[in-house]
């Protein structure tokens, strides 16, 4: 029995395996959650503009539930104040969903958002009402 050799390499050649038989890449929920948290941080940095420094806000937290090439995401974030909560929430959800789908190849079925607190534009210092 003789093996065919690729021209110039001296290595035997193998027939290409069809894509359906190659296997699958499994991405753990913890990794998907980290990607979602990073995407939420990017989205908040874009939306915050000059209102507040992202450094004064806590890092977003995320959770993920993965199954059948799809994922559901949960986010817990702080928003700058003042801001349009409805618009900013929709933009963060849209951005995170698209970014995670692009990076993981998964279909994102849901992105839920919990706003933990609002961070004043001047920072979290205490003020006195006059």
Residue 97 has pLDDT above 70, yes or no: yes
**pLDDT at site 22:** 78
Q: For residue 121, give every residue at least 6 positions away whose Cβ sits within 8 Å of its Cβ, in sequence order, or none.
A: 51, 52, 80, 81, 82
Q: Which DSSP symbol is given to 17? A: P
Residue 121 has pLDDT above 90, yes or no: no
Instruction: Assess contact for 119 and 80: CB atoms under 8 A.
Output: yes
E strand residue ranges, 1-130: 61-67, 70-81, 107-120
13/97 Cα distance (integer angstroms) = 42
Q: Which pLDDT band, with edges at 50, 70 and 90, does 54 fall under? A: low
């Amino acid at each position: 029995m003789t093996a065919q050799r690729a021209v110039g390499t001296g290595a035997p050649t193998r027939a290409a395996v069809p894509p359906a038989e190659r296997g699958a890449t499994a991405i753990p929920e913890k990794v998907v959650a980290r990607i979602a948290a990073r995407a939420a941080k990017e989205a908040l940095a874009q939306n915050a503009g000059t209102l507040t420094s992202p450094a004064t806000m806590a890092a977003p937290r995320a959770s993920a539930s993965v199954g059948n090439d799809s994922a559901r995401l949960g986010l817990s974030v702080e928003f700058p104040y003042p801001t349009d909560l409805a618009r900013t929430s929709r933009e963060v959800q849209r951005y995170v969903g698209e970014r995670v789908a692009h990076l993981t190849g998964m279909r994102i079925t849901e992105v839920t958002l919990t706003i933990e607190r609002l961070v004043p534009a001047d920072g979290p210092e205490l003020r006195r009402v006059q």
